[in-house]
Structure 1
Amino acid sequence: MQIAYRARDLAEAHIVAGLLESRGIESHVGGHYLQGAMGEIGAAGFTNVHVEDDDYSLARALVAEYESSTPSEPRSDEEQLEDRANRYATWFLLVLAFVMVLLFGAL
């Protein structure tokens, strides 16, 4: 199986998988259990849509069509600030986890 689409989140992955399956391409959405690993932060990049090797080229063509039809509106300042806050929170939690590992490892 090959990755036909790398989704931002689980909902988008299922939308693309539904599109592919409506065209007769069997697909699999991976990353269900990784999605919540970061809690409320909203981890992204773990959800992929997989298709069989034989269906890959047709699936990529359909995904390209889907991506071109998706409107890309400019993001508001509020959305950009929220994304920045999410990135800072992610790094803070990772550093905190690393420090905790160091502290408990030293005991």
Structure 2
Amino acid sequence: MQIAYRARDLAEAHIVAGLLQSRGIESHVGGHYLQGAMGEIGAAGFTNVHVEDEDYSRARVLVAEYESSAPPETSSHVGQVEDRANRYATWFLLFLAVVMVVLFGAL
């Protein structure tokens, strides 16, 4: 299987998978258990739509059509979302580090 589409989130991955399946291309959405691993932050880069090797070229054509019909995102909005996600991730990792120090310090 090959990755035909790297989605921003699980909902978008299922939309693209549904599009592919409506055109007769079997697809699989990966990354279900990774979404929300850090609260509201999506696990970026792990939610993908997979297709069989022989369907990959047809799937990429359909994905390209889907991407061209999507409204363009403003780069400032994308940057703000990424900054917020990075800030949440940093605080979450800091919290985990403090919890680990407290737990191992108590032993």
Please indicate the TM-score interval, normalised by the length of the shorter structure.
0.7 to 0.9
RMSD, aligned CA: 2.1
Superposition deviation, residue 45 in structure 1: 2.4
Superposition deviation, residue 15 in structure 1: 0.7
Measured against aligned partners, the alpha-carbon deviations of 1:29-65 in whole angstroms (never above 9, x if no partner) come to: 1111211211123333221101111111111121112
Q: Which amino acid in 1 is paired with 2:40? A: E
1:84 counterpart residue number? 83
Q: In structure 1, the residue corresponding to 2:49 is in which secondary structure?
A: strand
Measured against aligned partners, the alpha-carbon deviations of 1:54-89 in whole angstroms (never above 9, x if no partner) come to: 111111121112112212142566x75454223201
Q: Which amino acid in 2 is paired with 1:62? A: L
CA distance in 2, matches of 1:13, 1:23: 16
Cα 1:8–1:82 shift into 2, 3 Å:
closer
Q: Are 1:45 and 2:45 counterparts?
A: yes
Q: How many residues align?
A: 106
1:95 counterpart residue number? 94
CA distance in 2, matches of 1:73, 1:46: 21
Q: In structure 2, the residue corresponding to 1:49 is in which secondary structure?
A: strand
Q: Which amino acid in 1 is paired with 2:93? A: L
Paired-residue identity, %: 67
CA distance in 2, matches of 1:92, 1:30: 27
Cα 1:54–1:36 shift into 2, 3 Å:
same
